[in-house]
């Protein structure tokens, strides 16, 4: 046959994040709506600026238990009745705590939005927190603690936050609390935390989907207009910057005898979205170093060496400060060699980037945006995430415009700013990084120490 010529690609049209509307309710709740034609499942997202730092130290995890017990019974219904009420309307519901605050997610077909919002009203304003349900969520969380401890990727993440953040900072400890703190959580603790923090002031609710024919402001006002504002005004986002551990620059090896792979988390302090020079270069950096099968890391560790199924890097911004994380697993007998290569590649940004690499990163991030934000849930997630970050989705659009101007010099400047801030390149190789590995310590310790990348601490779980 005759070969068909390789087609030329027409450049996409400029794109902007869908336009939303904003309304402030008298009780302090802000409503954002996004009409997305053709999206028949409506996504509702509520973000509340509730801080993990407001948990009593000896009751850490109470916010998460509270979030998980919100729909386990209300003033009018038992837990079982309420579960059935949600299900009969096809409502998918979830709530959870994170560093940025409390998130409540609800998805429902368009025609059931009104009853779903009434169920949300009951969840937020009339939760009963029955003793039996709180106790059950506590037991579930304790079982989850064991589950997570046994999964290498989770175990590595835990050790990472414990090593990276200052011991007296909440971020150094698990979001959902530890065995000790969770075990002591009572129904009254949960009810008290809810009463104080789950109030409308400073909250942002997003409704995204095919909204034609719906009066969303009236529906939301009708359901949540009576939600108590709370005793005081509240900012819509949290401001705390987590303190880092003074000795965060080291290697921790969590012992897993007989492990067939070694799990890595390698991190260093990174910027937030307000960084000098703009945020746009950082996702490009993450992409070039470890964002695809052709990125610098997988080009070597996967495609050349066959050590891994895939390792990924990304910058994770918080409202103030952030972290640059690289994670994945490698074949056990390649552990030390993989670590050497990973550090070498992560530090290779000091030697610059090629125009082609930067072009690839910019193009991928810019041109995937319309598809990444095509569905109601992704639009609502982005909008509530921005709200809890003290921004609007105008940032998403502006950042994409700025991204178009990102070139090699801006990315190299961004890398230098990141590396200088983290102390990377200040000492020898490995300086400035927090490196956590979960694997067979007895098999790898000597070889890892011989790399000379920093002090190695071995941690053994009981």
Partner 1 sequence: MTAISYPLAERTLANGLRVIVSEDHTVPNVAVNLWVGVGSRHESPGRTGLAHLFEHLMFQGSRNVASGEHFSALMDEGARLNATTWFDRTNYFETVPTGALELALWLEADRHGYLLDAVTQDNLDNQRDVVKEEKRQRYDNVPYGSALIDIYATAFPEDHPYHHPTIGSMEDLDAATLDDVHAFFRAHYGPNNTVLTLVGDVTPEEGFTAAETYFGGLPPIELQTRERHQQLPPLSEPVRLDRVGDVPNDRIYVSFRLPVDTTPDYLACQVAVDVLGGLASSRLVRRLVRTDETAVSVGGWTMGLVDGVGLGTITVDVSVGADVEQVEAAVCEEIRRFADEGPDDAELESVIADTERSWLSALASIEERADHISHHALLTGDPAYVNTFVDRIRAVTAERARDAAAAWLDPASRAVVRYLSDTSKDADQPDDTDRPDRPDDSTSSTDSPDSPDKDSEEAA
User: What pairs with residue 434 in β-bridges?
Assistant: 267
Question: Given candidates 47, 230, 249, 267, which one binds partner 1 under the rule CB under 8 A?
Answer: 267
Question: Given candidates 122, 125, 261, 399, which one binds partner 1 under the rule CB under 8 A?
Answer: 261
User: What pairs with residue 328 in β-bridges?
Assistant: 264, 311
- What part of residues 26-45 is at the interface with partner 1 (CB under 8 A)? 36-41
> Which residue is associated with the tokens 């690289």?
326
Residue in 184, 194, 95 with CA at minimum distance from that of residue 142 = 184
CB 380 within 8 A of CB 43: yes
Q: Using CB under 8 A, which of the segments 233-241, 263-271, 396-404, 446-454 binds partner 1?
A: 263-271
> Which tokens go with 221?
């006002």
Does position 140 interact with partner 1 (CB under 8 A)? The reply is yes
Question: Given candidates 47, 291, 349, 454, which one binds partner 1 under the rule CB under 8 A?
Answer: 291
Nearer to partner 1, 222 or 370 (CB): 370
Does position 271 interact with partner 1 (CB under 8 A)? The reply is no
E strand or H helix at 458, and its extent? strand 456-459
Nearer to partner 1, 143 or 195 (CB): 143
Residue in 135, 104, 56, 62 with CA at minimum distance from that of residue 227 = 104
> Which tokens go with 187?
């129904």
C-alpha distances in Å from residue 165, one per residue of 157, 289, 454: 12, 24, 18
Minimum distance between the CB of residue 270 and partner 1, rounded to whole angstroms? 10
Q: Terminal CA-to-CA distance of the chain, rounded, Å?
A: 66
Q: Using CB under 8 A, which of the segments 20-28, 104-112, 117-125, 411-419 binds partner 1?
A: 104-112
Minimum distance between the CB of residue 441 and partner 1, rounded to whole angstroms? 15
Does position 396 interact with partner 1 (CB under 8 A)? The reply is no
Minimum distance between the CB of residue 39 and partner 1, rounded to whole angstroms? 6
Question: Read out DSSP for 332-398?
Answer: GGGHHHHHHHHHHHHGGGGG---HHHHHHHHHHHHHHHHHHT-SHHHHHHHHHHHHHTT--THHHHH
- d(Cα 45, Cα 116) in Å, to the nearest integer? 12
Does position 57 interact with partner 1 (CB under 8 A)? The reply is no
Q: Which residues are CB-neighbours of 135 under 8 A, at least 6 positions away?
A: 187
Does position 304 interact with partner 1 (CB under 8 A)? The reply is yes
- d(Cα 107, Cα 377) in Å, to the nearest integer? 8
Minimum distance between the CB of residue 25 and partner 1, rounded to whole angstroms? 27
Q: Which residues are CB-neighbours of 111 under 8 A, at least 6 positions away?
A: none
Nearer to partner 1, 200 or 365 (CB): 365
Does position 92 interact with partner 1 (CB under 8 A)? The reply is yes
How many binding residues for partner 1 (CB under 8 A)? 116
DSSP single-letter state for residue 74: B
- d(Cα 394, Cα 385) in Å, to the nearest integer? 12
Does position 151 interact with partner 1 (CB under 8 A)? The reply is yes
Minimum distance between the CB of residue 119 and partner 1, rounded to whole angstroms? 13
Q: Using CB under 8 A, which of the segments 10-18, 193-201, 387-395, 402-410 binds partner 1?
A: 10-18
Minimum distance between the CB of residue 447 and partner 1, rounded to whole angstroms? 19
Question: Given candidates 22, 23, 149, 167, which one binds partner 1 under the rule CB under 8 A?
Answer: 149
Binding mask 336-375 for partner 1 (x = CB under 8 A): -----------------------xx--xx-xxxxxxx-xx
CB 313 within 8 A of CB 361: no
Longest dimension (CA), the chain: 77
Question: Given candidates 376, 422, 435, 456, which one binds partner 1 under the rule CB under 8 A?
Answer: 376
Does position 89 interact with partner 1 (CB under 8 A)? The reply is yes
Question: Given candidates 54, 195, 247, 309, which one binds partner 1 under the rule CB under 8 A?
Answer: 309
Nearer to partner 1, 91 or 238 (CB): 91
- What part of residues 190-229 is at the interface with partner 1 (CB under 8 A)? none
Does position 6 interact with partner 1 (CB under 8 A)? The reply is yes
Residue 381 CB neighbours (<10 A): 18
């Amino acid at each position: 046959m005759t070969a068909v010529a390789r087609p030329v690609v027409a450049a996409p049209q400029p794109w902007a994040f869908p336009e939303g509307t904003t309304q402030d309710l008298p009780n302090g709740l802000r409503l954002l709506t996004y009409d997305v034609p053709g999206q028949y499942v409506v996504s509702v997202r509520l973000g509340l600026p509730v801080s993990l730092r407001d948990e009593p130290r000896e009751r850490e995890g109470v916010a998460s238990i509270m979030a998980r017990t919100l729909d386990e019974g209300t003033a009018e219904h038992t837990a079982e009745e309420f579960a059935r009420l949600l299900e009969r309307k096809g409502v998918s519901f979830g709530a959870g705590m994170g560093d940025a605050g409390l998130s409540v997610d609800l998805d429902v077909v368009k025609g059931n939005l009104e009853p779903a919002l009434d169920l949300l009203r009951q969840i937020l304003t009339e939760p009963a927190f029955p003793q039996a349900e709180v106790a059950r969520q506590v037991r579930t969380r304790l079982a989850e603690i064991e589950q997570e401890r046994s999964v290498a990727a989770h175990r590595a993440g835990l050790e990472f936050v414990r090593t990276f953040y200052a011991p007296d900072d909440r971020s150094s400890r698990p979001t959902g609390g530890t065995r000790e703190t969770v075990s002591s959580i009572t129904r009254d603790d949960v009810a008290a935390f809810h009463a104080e923090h789950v109030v409308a002031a400073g909250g942002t609710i997003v409704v995204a989907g095919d909204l034609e024919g719906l009066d969303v402001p009236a529906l939301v006002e009708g359901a949540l207009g009576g939600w108590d504002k709370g005793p005081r005004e509240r900012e819509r986002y949290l401001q705390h910057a987590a303190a880092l551990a003074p000795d965060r620059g080291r290697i921790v090896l969590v012992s897993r005898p007989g492990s067939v792979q070694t799990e890595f988390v390698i991190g260093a302090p990174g910027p937030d979205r307000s960084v000098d020079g703009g945020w746009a270069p950082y996702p490009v950096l993450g992409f070039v170093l470890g964002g695809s099968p052709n990125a610098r890391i997988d080009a070597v560790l996967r495609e050349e060496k066959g050590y891994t199924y895939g390792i990924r890097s990304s910058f994770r911004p918080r409202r103030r400060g952030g972290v640059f994380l690289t994670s994945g697993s490698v074949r056990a007998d390649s552990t030390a060699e993989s670590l050497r290569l990973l550090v070498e590649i992560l530090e290779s940004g000091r030697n610059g980037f090629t125009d082609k690499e930067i072009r690839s990163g910019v193009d991928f991030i810019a041109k995937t945006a319309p598809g990444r934000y095509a569905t109601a849930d992704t639009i609502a997630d982005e909008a509530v995430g921005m709200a809890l970050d003290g921004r609007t989705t105008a940032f998403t659009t502006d950042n994409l415009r700025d991204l178009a101007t990102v070139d090699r010099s801006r990315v190299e400047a961004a890398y230098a700013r990141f590396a200088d801030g983290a102390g990377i390149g200040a000492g020898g190789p490995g300086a400035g990084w927090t490196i956590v590995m979960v694997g067979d310590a007895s098999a790898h310790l000597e070889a890892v120490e011989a790399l000379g990348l920093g002090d190695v601490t071995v941690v053994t779980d009981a």
